A and B are shown apart, each in its own frame.
Chain A
């Protein structure tokens, strides 16, 4: 089915969120908000040490308090699966996944050592302070810079993550002979997702070994599979329901340890249990990995990039080889014959890093897009012009053409909107009062992916349609775009359509992540709706004296709840009448969608962006204000410009945080991040955010996915921090290569 089939009243139009009412009235229920009679409350006790062994774990005082039901530790927990593979979820990197309360070994600071379960939350919180632990402490290693020499190439590739491509040409040779070079090192600190909703699981004991699980997850299917594998349960006994998620950004891709603990407690006690992590405990699992990058590249005087070497050294844990794509973007966005990209890992005594909004991309793009900017000053070529002169028409990493790439238009439209032509190329050229004003730009890129997804569509005689897939809406607007697509597919109002998500009883969907959900779930919903269309026509043809007897699907329209003849819309019949005539209570269809495997082999598909930033720097005091961002986005077809714009703004705000605020501060003596709360780990507040303008560049693409959609969740952050850092240089003449750009770095 072609993309054009769903253009209609709603798709492509700005529409308010269909879940808006539930969210502004408090009716939307999140994982910790489901309840059951006799619900117990669990509170996690965390390890103060990063490495060593528990020598004593005394729960006597805790257990003595009336109302305490159990204190789970490695000494008394039930047996769970033995093999590592059983703990490996849908996106697990190679290695042995962390198991909470497994044994006496401590492998990172903040590791859960006990779960207190009590009749009330307050009681559990209090009793958690009575659990007494003693440790043998070993010196932890968490200083990435100190141990970077131990970096290694991971022996096993993480599924879905492309390692760097093989070197092309002779980068070292060309670099050695080049006069015009940039050689620099860049640093990305560890960052935490910090969705506003803390991780939580409410597990309802249904009796007879059955449980209903409300988990903070980006994929109910992943949660279900993890539980069945780890606890040896049958799929039918584990029903996962998570209709809303209070922000994910990747933190809800892998099952977090509170899920394991809650299920364990529920099964062992045969009672319903809820566990909510504290904000501080939100700093005790996956994070954007701390990464050091070195870039060397050379160019000719005319701006042609002649050779690139880009290496990243990133942290991982001692038990898994977490991998993300950091350096490949460099070979993707810049056309160059001599390219050598490397990606290595260093083991630290920390929890395994996790995918965090556009994992790897803004990290790698901060480094290389900063380096390109450095080169533009060296050559005296405008930064946009330099990018245009090295524009990659194809994906040179894979040697494949793009399904579409309108990045040239993005540079042009973004520059126009921003007023880039009026930029004085000289750093420090604009001063207003105490502030130096700077303009910078950078390119962003992210994968346009699609994952096989199933959906159902159910039409009832009252003209109401329900579409469903097990995917999630983590704030991205999935409920809304699926409603738009379905409404248009069957010519209904959006009010006549109900979209259901986040339930393992619904048709299969992979995790919500990687920006693939709109393309994947959207295509699946559309495919299911198309089956309903065919069915409607089929049944209509069986009606007595049917005007549709000899017509085909392309000769009819589905409009305002009626099947009508395209060339004579006056002739038609209401869906309800068709169904009544056939004695149907409903038409229920299920269908799957996936990317065309032929396209997969022959084409590469990415979203791109051109980010323009204006900063104002009080040079004396080192303060930076991001006063203006223009982000021109190439992401194929835009289903809902209103929610799409919000997605990009959100990504930009994340990027501003990355550029100016976010850093988990490690005390490497004790191997612990010390600013583990919202007061000291800064994410942007309202006052940090000023004008953000989003442009969606026209980019028709009928190959990337059946509905022409590429996805928007990640692209907004890509390139943003680099554009800001480049603007800071333009303002001040100071190049900050260590994120975040805090006051001390500009004094």
Chain B
């Protein structure tokens, strides 16, 4: 038997209280906040704005459930400090549909292709797929798989996710018939 001290107790610097004001446009609405610097964008969305569509799966950038669009790019909101997003535009799953509630093509395709089961990774998958469609780097199923690999799905809906994205890609490539 030995007596040791282990664990989460660490030498911490003197606590510094500091609040920072922050401007964000979230799903088209401009908002002002006063946040502490250690608040992540994910926690701000979920706790302060009650935008709980954005999910916390790991809180460490290892699962993609928290994916949102920041200035149009897909990002892990769990690793983004809110204070560092000042002046930026954020789109969450709640902002993907049109203002009249019409689902975006990828949202509709997810339902049609049964691209989710429990639904917990789905907001992140949808934000990620929305960005992927805009990025223009994915053309084949192989490329879709690789570029959607930052979003884990434990229910294993991957083949259906790929089908949904493939369909929207094909729709985008086909000129609309009048």
- Which A residues lie at the B interface, using CB under 8 A? 16-17, 19-30, 32-33, 35, 45-49, 52, 55, 65, 120-122, 126, 128-138, 193-198, 244-249, 276, 278-279, 474-477, 642-643, 645-647, 649-654, 677-679, 683-687, 689, 691-692
Contact = CB atoms under 8 A, between A and B. Distances in A.
Contacts of B151: 686
Contacts of B38: 122, 126
Interface of B: 1-10, 12, 15, 36, 38-39, 43, 46-47, 50-60, 62-63, 65, 92-94, 96-97, 103, 107, 110-112, 114, 116-123, 126, 144-146, 148-149, 151-162
A137 B57 contact: no
17 contacts: A16-B112, A26-B51, A33-B46, A49-B6, A122-B38, A129-B10, A131-B8, A196-B121, A196-B153, A197-B118, A246-B55, A246-B119, A475-B116, A475-B119, A650-B157, A652-B156, A686-B145
B33 to A, nearest CB: 13
Contacts of A29: 52
A387 B16 CA distance: 69
Given A24-B103, A25-B53, A133-B9, A689 B159 contact: yes
Contact of B155 (A25, A133, A247, A679): A247
Given A24-B111, A26-B54, A246 B118 contact: yes
B161 to A, nearest CB: 7
A95 B9 CA distance: 34
A649 B159 contact: yes
Contacts of A47: 7
Given A25-B97, A133-B7, 12 more contacts: A23-B122, A24-B96, A24-B103, A55-B3, A137-B4, A197-B55, A247-B117, A677-B60, A684-B158, A685-B149, A686-B148, A689-B159
A490 to B, nearest CB: 25
A249 B145 CA distance: 24
Contacts of B92: 26
Contacts of A684: 156, 158
Given A29-B52, A685-B149, A195 B3 contact: no
B154 A642 contact: no
Contacts of A49: 6
A653 B114 CA distance: 15
Given A25-B97, A120-B47, A686-B158, A128 B53 contact: no
Nearest to B104: A24
A653 B55 CA distance: 22
Contacts of B158: 653, 684-686, 689
B154 A196 contact: yes
Q: Which 8 A/B pairs are nearest by Cβ-Cβ distance?
A: A26-B53, A653-B156, A246-B120, A475-B118, A23-B119, A475-B117, A678-B62, A650-B156
B62 to A, nearest CB: 4
Contacts of A194: 154
B57 A643 contact: no
A33 B144 CA distance: 31
A29 B97 CA distance: 18
Contact of B1 (A27, A121, A138, A645): A138
A347 B92 CA distance: 47
A455 B6 CA distance: 52
Contacts of A26: 51-54, 92-94, 123
Contacts of B39: 122
A158 to B, nearest CB: 26
B118 A129 contact: no
Contacts of A136: 1-3
Contacts of B8: 45-46, 48, 128-129, 131
Contacts of A247: 117-118, 120, 154-155
B9 A129 contact: yes
Nearest to B160: A646
Contact of A28 (B119, B146, B160): B119
Contact of A475 (B50, B146, B152, B155): B155
A642 B57 contact: no
A196 B63 contact: yes
Given A24-B111, A27-B53, A649 B6 contact: no
B96 to A, nearest CB: 8
Contact of A196 (B4, B96, B112, B118): B118
A686 B161 contact: yes
A635 to B, nearest CB: 17
B118 A245 contact: yes
A136 B160 CA distance: 51
B111 to A, nearest CB: 4
Nearest to B58: A279
Contact of B5 (A20, A134, A642, A652): A134
A23 B43 CA distance: 20
Given A128-B8, A194-B154, A25 B94 contact: yes
Nearest to B112: A16
Nearest to A248: B118
Given A48-B6, A475-B155, A652-B156, A642 B114 contact: yes
A198 to B, nearest CB: 7
A630 to B, nearest CB: 13
Given A279-B62, A474-B118, A121 B43 contact: yes
B51 to A, nearest CB: 7
A16 B116 CA distance: 11
Contacts of A652: 156
A21 B4 contact: no
